[in-house]
Structure 1
Amino acid sequence: MSDAVEDFLTHGLKGRSLGTMTHARSMAENQIKPKIGNYRLKDLRAEHVDLWLDELAETLATKTIIQIHNLLTRAIHMAEKRELVGRNVSALCETPHGQEGRPSRSLTLDQAVAVLMACEGEKFGVYVITSLLTGIRPEEARKLLWGAVNLRGKPPSVSVLRADRVGGDTKTKKSRRALALPALVVDELKRHRARQTAQKLLAGEAWQEHDLVFARDDGTLLDPMRVLRGLRVITKKAGIGNHWKVRELRHSFVSILSDGDVSVERIADLVGHSTPTTTQTVYRHQIRPVIVHGAETMDAVFGNGDQTGCGSQNDSGPPTCCR
């Protein structure tokens, strides 16, 4: 069985993103191979799979069990096509319900202020600030290019045209959008560009130019786990724990806009959803009924164009943008 799974990991995921392949291998190494990997493929029966799935259901979330079961089914299907087994016993089994997964959370306004303040001096501070105050998806932020950023426009803006997905396209056509940038983001991106220019000189020939706004020290694409670790350093520093997920910056953006009386239709446009229904379904815990744009609301909440960013501080208290 382990050989069939390994064959699928090697040949069945071609063209998939690095994140997808890494996740699939993790599931195989931690949940499939150690528990049913020792069965010979031809000896594996549906009841073996059922018992294994029931064991997973005792500790794992339903969504995770579905992913693991799907991986096994696809691996056996590849073996079936290669005539290594007569039928796919995994496809005969129902996926059981597992544990309740942790729902996505959003930052409260006080927590968001604390996070913005904690970004000062942190390597991933500008990434977190940009994500929180624009609501772009993590995969969109990782593939954001300087060529799509206009810091001198009226208003300053960013064009979301690419994403760290297979093919490089955004999630949907509606996801291709232009967003006005809050003043705080503009200030932070200006400082970030200066730091990145210095980093290029330091790296010398090791620098690989991809025009990425957020990049590793050699100019290459950030991996999701590196971003996650950077975020959790900041949230821990902010005093709200280190169990937050990067996508929850986007959830927080939606929550803050909703509390700022921005309509769900406007929020759907800003986050790149095809319809307001998607926004209400995915972010139903963050959306509240409203009567009545992105950058204006964020400026009103976190500061205005006269501020100089989260690094600005005086003797009387916290950074002026975060009061």
Structure 2
Amino acid sequence: MPDTVLVDTAPPEATEPRVRRTALFGGRVPLARLRDLALVPAIVVIAIVGQIVNPVFLQADNLVNVLQTMSEIALLVLAQTMILIVKKMDMSLESTMGLAPGVAALLVVPAGAGHGLGLVPGAWAVPVTLAVGAVVGVLNALLIIRFGLNGFIVTLGMLIVLRGILTGLSGGQTFFQLPPSMLYLGTAEWFGMPASIWICLALFAVAVVLLGWTGFGRSLYAIGGNVDAAKAAGIRTDRVLWIVIVSGSVLAALAGLLLSGRLASVAAAQGDGYIFTVFAAAVIGGISLNGGKGTMFGAFSGILLLFMIQNVLTLGGVPAQWIGALNGLIILVALIISRITGGKAQE
């Protein structure tokens, strides 16, 4: 019996140091974790360069525009970060961002106007959007966790399926004349700023607290670091994975709702190509593709840096055709710098 007690208690002690090393705020923070702040100087430099390139850059209206445009895709980054930490990935987030509000628009937009069917009242738009996101998450989790299929392949296939469903439902056209309930979050202002910015900041703040100060957050890092050790420590790994994957899809649906509200429409290609920016922001922000490493602060810094650079290029008169290539080059340079300063953190 004494031997059994020692075996049972060893895994938590073995995994605890890894959990501590991952926290950015609270607890003991080793110097190695200061690399999560590595993007802050870069953000300051880009702000200075942007002001030199065009004095409009640091004006309130421009900064609010950057944050609002960023807020929708930032929710995808938040979702993907949680999933990457548990050593999974979800390629279908961008398609969920389009399909969820697309299904809602199909059901609530009046028949004969805006390509909808008018089957349910407009007040149902938000619940339907989030419910579709949850259903997609459940399907992904079922295939990945219950049937043990490869997460990358499953969600890549789901990305294609969801994109095809949205194209089929919309006939390749754009839903418009959305009800006020679908427009509100993308157009409303709270305390002088767009509601989407407040929602984004609030959700990231909750995620920072969740990952840095709660047992659930420690469970995510433990699973990403060593799932077998996490199981031996008594963590219900399957339940945690279900929560993370389903929550990620719901966040993607919410991101789609914010984007649809801001644009007052749902395009058949909504969210197309976003997943590449999402992965770039997460990796630049210090999130490991091998799980168990990274913070929400780093992920937020990554997406903020990317959008600031894009805004500077636009204000500098760089042709839109070149912005994509320059963004890719910046991502490669950032990764090289991150590897030099952070060792093997990105492996």
Which TM-score band applies after superposition, normalised by the shorter structure?
under 0.3
| Structure showing the higher helix proportion among its residues | 2
Relative contact order higher in (CA < 8 Å, ≥ 6 apart): 2
Q: TM-score, normalised by structure 1?
A: 0.25
TM-score by length of 2: 0.23
